[in-house]
Amino acid sequence: MPLLKSFWMEPGMSEKKKWTVMIYLAGDNNLSDEMIWALKEIYRVGTGGCCNVVVQFDPSATEKGPRRYDITKIEGKYKSGCDQDGIIELESIMEPLSPTGSQGDTINQEDSTDQRVLAGFVNYAMQNKEAEHYMLILSGHGSGVMGGMLDDQNPYGRLTIRGLGNALKNALVPKEGTEISKGQKHPKIDILGLDSCTMSTAEVAHEVRDSVDFLVGSEGFIRNAGWPYHRLLETMHTGPDADLLAIAAVKCFIAYYSDYLSAGVSTDQAAAKLEAFRGEEPIMKNLTTLSVTLADELHKDNRTLRNALVLAHWDAQSFNNEQYVDLYDFCARLLNYLPEGEQKSPCESIRLCCQGIIESWQQIVLKSDYSGPAYQHAHGLSIYFPWSELCLDYAGLSFAEATKWYDFLKVYIDKTVREVRDDEGRAQQGERPESIQAVYAQAFVGIGGYPVHRAGGWDGVKAGGWNGVKGGGWLGAKGGGWLGAKYGSLTADETVSLSSMKNSPVGFYPRRSRHLDEIRKEIALRDEKKLEQQLLASPDKTLQRVINRLPEDKKKWVELGLRPA
């Protein structure tokens, strides 16, 4: 379609538009008000008559149900410079959502995490707003492989990474009897935009590789305001091709948040080409060889490699409380610490894999950019790389199975976790936890507690500890405890058992060298009755005393966090 014709096309014309943009706003949480602002901006800018825009919004108000908006119906010309709120007009074009799924089953449209709800939205848009290209944007909370995305409070739930992959596959399955099912190529989603925290990961890319061509997202945290949709729609008015639009989305995002540098805001975004994750592409071959070789050498207690791995892991750009590292940066740091090896040696094989990943990066990541110092070594895609505990669901991801990365992580944690301390503070050489299963479910208050990393450190701080505190722990905690705690207890002067902590309002769990089996042994050696009575006597006072020790600007983090992922 010629550019001028696309730009000036009036509403109601039947010619196929170049783009259909589907925006899925999972707002049944603390992001609801920000998503209403996004809707206002979408209305203000409009479609320019050159694309279709369909929005599905699940708000947080219990009396307000989910609603769908066809922005294309509002107007056809770009209203540059207008400042109209537009929410009343949006309500006038709100469309009811059917409780019946595509397979005739009954679904709860208020559950944004239901695969069928997401698949139904995509099906509706692609069938009713046919276009040359399709872009799907998912907006909501995210935490990558650790807990999924699109948190919903009513009913409570999260969409897992596997669920996302299944939803897109189901949305793109042609109906029986259609021309597509008789041999025509069914349209893919050209661009999947993830307006969520920490979702630009290799695991996500691999899970949706067969349904999507380009992935646009962030490795780090995203502010609650989310994507600048008005700038993205302004770009849509020029009718770009898919690769150029993916690159433009990154540029719009970084340009917008660069204005927030004076407020100390850091952010990143990238556009990745998912063809690189299909079949026997170089990155998949190199990652698989890297995982297998690293695991084999760690099994052999290759201390030279072990030390290089730990240092590279330590140095690499990390995200989401050090649960992920930038894949490119990790490979670069590992190359830096690996000794020069002889030909056909394990170290040389690992070097070749890292070099192969780095050399193929331009074929994987179309555009990567950042604003602010926190993510200055981000290159576009992260990979799950925890320090001490594995997410329970990770083994079920297609990426973990295809690359053997899960097998490597199990060996890495087993070989690098520190020995357990006895009651006299001595390390018991060679004694490690029998299990490395996660003790907590998620990473935030009310879901399982903050994870403590690097022998007790938190929030990506090097050398272990928060606010520069040494000794490994949060505000000087020892042994992975909290606020000066020893052996993982709640405070320095009051010891709390594991069972008591699990029932507390906060639910913090000890981490890093404090594991479930060892904690149980320790509890058995103590006066359990005395410990339980101590907590039951004044649980609220104990918790409040701990919170009161926090700096004023950190107290709200206990309840809110940045944008919880």
Which structure tokens are listed for 178?
A: 């259609």
pLDDT for the residue numbered 60: 86
Angle between helix axes 242-258 and 229-236 (nearest 10 degrees) is: 150
The confidence score (pLDDT) of residue 487 equals 29
Cβ atoms of 239 and 184 within 8 Å: the answer is: no
pLDDT in the model for residue 554: 54
Answer for the pair 226, 35: CB distance below 8 angstroms, yes or no. yes
Nearest partner of 440 among 509, 520, 501, judged by Cα? 509
Separation of alpha carbons 195 and 343, rounded Å: 45
Q: Which domains does the chain have, with CATH numbers?
A: 3-276 (3.40.50), 282-416 (no CATH), 420-565 (no CATH)
- Residue 234: the pLDDT is 87
Report how far apart the first and last C-alpha atoms of the chain are (Å, whole number).
41
Residue 131 backbone dihedrals phi, psi, to 5 degrees:
-150, 175
User: Which residue(s) pair with 216 in the sheet?
Assistant: 193, 271
pLDDT at 544: 56
Query: Is 439 within 8 Å of 516 (Cβ atoms)?
Result: yes
The pLDDT, as a whole number, for residue 482 is 34
Instruction: Return d(Cα 403, Cα 66) in angstroms, integer.
Output: 39
pLDDT means over runs of 10, the chain (565 residues): 34 70 92 89 80 90 80 58 52 65 68 88 90 95 87 83 92 57 63 96 96 96 92 87 95 94 94 91 93 96 92 94 95 92 80 95 94 95 92 90 95 84 62 42 29 32 31 33 31 31 31 40 49 55 55 54 39
CA 80, 86, 91, 96 dihedral sign is positive
Q: In which element (H, E) is residue 137 found?
A: strand 131-139
532: which DSSP letter? H
Non-local CB neighbours of 193 within 8 Å, separated by 6+ positions: 135, 136, 137, 138, 216, 217, 227, 249
pLDDT on residue 132:
92
